[in-house]
Amino acid sequence: MQDRAKLENLEKISRLIRRHCLVMTTRAGSGHPTSSLSAIELMAGLLFGGAFRYDPDHPDSPNNDRLIFSKGHASPLFYALWAVAGVLGEEELAGYRKFDSPLEGHPTVAFRYTEAATGSLGQGLSIGVGTALNAKYLDKLPYRTYVLLGDSEMAEGSQWEAMQIAAHYKLDNLIGVLDVNRLGQRGETMPGHDLDTYATRVAAFGWQTIIIDGHSYPQVLDAFEKALGAEEPVMIVARTIKGKGVSFLEDKEGWHGKTLDENELAKALAELGEIDTSVRGHISMPEDLRPVVIEPRKAPGRNFAAGRPIATRKAYGKALARIYPQYPRIVSLDGEVSNSTGADTFKAEHPERFFEMYIAEQNMVGAATGLSRSGKIPFVSTFAAFFSRAYDQIRMSRYSDANIKFAGSHAGVSIGQDGPSQMGLEDIAMFRAIPDSVVFYPCDGVSTDALVEKAAAHRGIVYIRTTRMDTPIIYDSKEQFEIGGSKVLRRSEADVATVVGAGVTLHEALKAFDDLKIEGIAIRVIDLYSVKPVDEAGLMEAAKATGFVITVEDHYPEGGIGEAVRSALGNTGLPVHSLAVRKKPKSGLPGELLDFEEISRKAIVAKVKEVLWKRRRKAVDIPGSRG
């Protein structure tokens, strides 16, 4: 039996929150008031009904429960909740969606009470998986993660990926709140108000389900109380009304993402009745506990045998295991290919820091965002090609200021017989496009090890591209590598061209150097291991000294190394010739495919000679000399 005074206070809070949602969206001239109105009792009951534990004065406290609005378009409700909690005033709410306000159209971490940026639907539950994994297995704290979900986003496959893995890891500290308001953006959702369908599907994935009337405070409070005692993940399936509280909005199509004008606002506020603008909601305080902390220790030195080739994908796993003592916040997530990506080496040495995420890349990246927001350093690995499935999660993680390291193996046509479905050929372009990202492409075991360590030390998104085939060790174990650097491996005063490679093609460039040297042609060879940021000064110096540059990459030309080099050289007028994968790949031996795509040593030699011949021909082709 719920306390009458408590219920009456929650009803007052609901009316104030409704007012906030309507007023702030009308003042902004944009937003989603009706999507916010449907979830008010659910969220006010959570925050102010006793289940949620949070210290508003210390939003970074590791003991706080987490609240993630997967339906990020309900941001008016999110901000209104914190206003009622006393951390936002009317003036701040009036800044909603304005340029200089942290109250953005969809929640971002510019607002300090936001756990992660949302708004691209289908991602919040995966982020919640990450924060719940952190609580249960890493920090070992009793906080819970609550995720508000919209019914429209339940059509996203990523939701079901998250539900599978949550049940697998027995995340009894993860609670989903499904706002079934029936209406999506353009009309009714597939199940409409059929709550049993949602509950049956969710239960089939190993979750406990609780069906309620989402506007009944007694049912809402009882549901959260039951969820606290669950031994598996919980989904509260709530029947709600879109636009609840305003008669001309309730359950009406055509109002999604539409605000009220001033006359409609006045009419809506009149319907809400008397509103106590001084009412405040009380949030229960969490326990004051300390997370498990592993103190950093000095990592052992690099250990690569000279003359013993190793695939950079294998060197990646070795490096991760080596540096872990120095970076004990590292966790490894892999998409069920750890014996191919090299992550199994880390798993063998630190199984408690490894999470198998199976063939579900969208959820894997979302969970990495949650782990990152919990203070961990996730290293996420799979085949480079398969990151394309999770690109939306990758780009959204940037808006959460995520600190994630991505390792993509099996890059390029050099993987050989597996064929084009397995070849990462767009990955450099994908990760270069992420603001402030770093893109590494090591060529041997030593450079891989060094760049994995640089990635761990760097705050932000880093992509490490690795190769399937074994490659020779060309660097001394003590060689240093910097973000934004490059290495000049062959150089002389007689150089007539600069060849820029990375990864597999760097070795092809070195072979081409030897072939051309026999013919008396000297070229400069640069290892562009840092594709972003790129070594503008080094490339400029080499281009000016040799007259032209040839880039060679096991990647499509769009967005790859060639375009990075052209960007670095800017408007200098110095020519850049690009060798890249331009034909539809096929199965074959690595050498055959490098030749077929014209990115092998033979192609480099031929291109250097072709450009030299054209330049010399141009130099002697004086107008009028043919007559």
Q: How far apart are CA 477 and CA 444, in angstroms?
A: 11
Q: Sheet harboring 497-501: ordered strands across?
A: 487-490, 523-527, 497-501, 549-552, 576-579
Residue with tokens 């506007």: 215
Omega before 533 cis (within 30°)?
A: yes
Nearest residue to 554 via CA among 460, 471, 481: 471
Tell me the CB-side half-sphere exposure of residue 80, using CA atoms within 13 A: 28
Question: What is the distance between the alpha carbons of residues 434 and 82, in angstroms, rounded to a whole number?
Answer: 31
Place of tokens 């690099």: 302
8 Å CB contact between 398 and 461: yes
Q: How far apart are CA 50 and CA 455, in angstroms?
A: 42
Instruction: For tokens 């060639």, name the residue.
Output: 562
b/e for 470-497, b at 16 or more Cβ within 10 A? ebebbbeeeeebebebbbebbbeeebbb
What is the identity of the amino acid at 609? Answer: K
Alpha-carbon dihedral angle through residues 271, 277, 279, 280, given to the nearest 10 degrees: 110
Find out whether 611 and 550 touch, Cβ atoms under 8 Å.
yes
Find the largest Cα–Cα distance for the chain: 107
What are the tokens at 206?
A: 């190993």
3-state SS assignment for residue 374: coil
Alpha helix positions (H), 374-467: 391-399, 427-432, 445-457
Length of the chain: 627
Angle between helices 217-228 and 4-28 (to 10 degrees): 100
Residue 17 CB contacts under 8 Å (≥ 6 apart), including other chains: 40, 44, 77, 80, 81, 84
Task: Report yes or no: 71 and 127 within 8 Å, Cβ to Cβ.
Answer: no
Catalytic residues: 361
In eight-state DSSP terms, residue 592 is H
Q: Are 213 and 274 in contact (CB under 8 A)?
A: no
